[in-house]
Amino acid sequence: MTAIHVTSEIGKLKKVLLHRPGRELLNLTPDTLERLLFDDIPFLKVAQEEHDAFAKILRDNGVEVVYLEDLMAETLAANPGLREQFLKQFIDEAGIKTEKYKKIVYDFLNSYDDNKELILKTMEGINVNELDSKLRNIENSLVDLVSDESNFIADPMPNLYFTRDPFGSIGNGVSLNRMYSVTRNRETIYAEYIFDHHPEYKGQVDKYFDRYNPFHIEGGDILNLNDHVLAIGISQRTQADAIEMIAKNLFSHKDAKIDTILAFNIPNSRAFMHLDTVFTQIDKDKFTVHPGIMGPLQVFEITADPDNSNEVLVKEMNDKLENILARYLGIPKVELIMCAGGDKIAAEREQWNDGSNTLCIAPGVIVVYERNDVTNALLKEKGLTVLEMPSAELSRGRGGPRCMSMPLVREEVEW
């Protein structure tokens, strides 16, 4: 079996990557919420219970659940020399500038013997008070003290439980993303180490995009329609330039099967930050859609330029969304199911709480947030198997079941 294998949004899910929300959520404060992309502070204990319920639904349905923190700890355990390199890179990317502080933080982190504890600490963030005893003997550094907006010498990474975004599985490879925000860009370091050094992934995973590229793209915008067509959102998080770049990389890669990308231009707003907040596939011929995007949505087809491998051909599709999807999926008809049935207020409320953001674990079988009862009732009426998870606290981070999961292996779909 290949380490990564994802050629659809709906094929039976075999293996998925999650991150159980941890102490990083305890380091959110009212002043940092906006910068750290949260709308409120979740109650950690309940958020963890909800997340465990999510993992249980997946396991009960035959999915192997692996955790980011475990893969990363295994990566360090398998490569004893790597800890030093990882810590130095982590410290640099946390924005710690002076040699003195670098050394203090390095020693502090390196004192964690257990690899998993170390990884969880890097995720949690480091408050300057934790280093106090070590700082007592040195002068404070003006550079580090004035450049820090909070007491954190390394910021927490509270968005890590949205494992959908730092990389995206495409066929047997990945897009290792450069993120839109400073706070989330640090998250991709874990995927970089896992794909480069974890015994199961090293040398097995092609990279179609790299975190050091100049343009940003996030996994919530990347949807695998089938083994040769991707949909990618042009959104707050994903730039058109990044899509052209990944298109060229995919079209020229000898092992990648993707020959067409549909770029969905969606309005740039907090509520619609990624394509998957307004649009997910739930069955071979069914998608959930937020009615708010139907007017402004533009779809572009991107294909290889047969005359010039450095260029791509781009064409605007002037047709109804359901017709475009049916054509590229090669099926007669597609049904779009509107969030909350299209009622304006209910649709806006439920979309805000990720009513359109479903995780499909087999054709017609989806995991959803329980709170979106109007949309969920409609999905049941349409014949879907709807697996509901609790969501009072997790939803405060503005992401749903699809955002909280990264499929690593799915079965092929018989179209």
Positions touching ligand ARG (CB under 6 A) are 37, 159, 162, 164-165, 184, 220, 273-274, 276-277, 397-399, 403
CB of 230 to ligand ARG, least distance (A): 15
Any idea how long the chain is? 415
CB of 279 to ligand ARG, least distance (A): 11
Using DSSP, state whether 233 is helix, strand or coil.
strand
Q: Which string of DSSP letters, residue by residue, matches 75-133?
A: HHHH-TTHHHHHHHHHHHHTT--SHHHHHHHHHHHHT--SHHHHHHHHHH-EEGGGGHH
Closest residue to bound ligand ARG by CB: 220
Between 292 and 399, whose beta carbon lies closer to ligand ARG?
A: 399
Between 90 and 162, whose beta carbon lies closer to ligand ARG?
A: 162
* Strand 126-127 versus strand 152-154 pairing type: antiparallel
* Residue 403 is a catalytic residue: yes
Between 20 and 198, whose beta carbon lies closer to ligand ARG?
A: 20
Catalytic pick from 123, 367, 384, 403? 403
CB of 130 to ligand ARG, least distance (A): 25
> Can you read off the two tokens belonging to residue 393?
């606290």
CB of 37 to ligand ARG, least distance (A): 4
Between 276 and 393, whose beta carbon lies closer to ligand ARG?
A: 276
CB of 88 to ligand ARG, least distance (A): 26
Distance CA 15, CA 32 (A): 34
Rounded to the nearest angstrom, the gap between the alpha carbon of residue 403 and the centroid of all alpha carbons in its chain is 6
Other CB atoms within a 10 A radius of the CB of residue 104 amount to 21
Distance CA 72, CA 400 (A): 24
> Can you read off the two tokens belonging to residue 270?
């907090």
Please check whether residue 268 is in contact with residue 365, taking contact to mean a CB–CB distance below 8 angstroms.
Answer: no
Supply the residues annotated as catalytic.
403
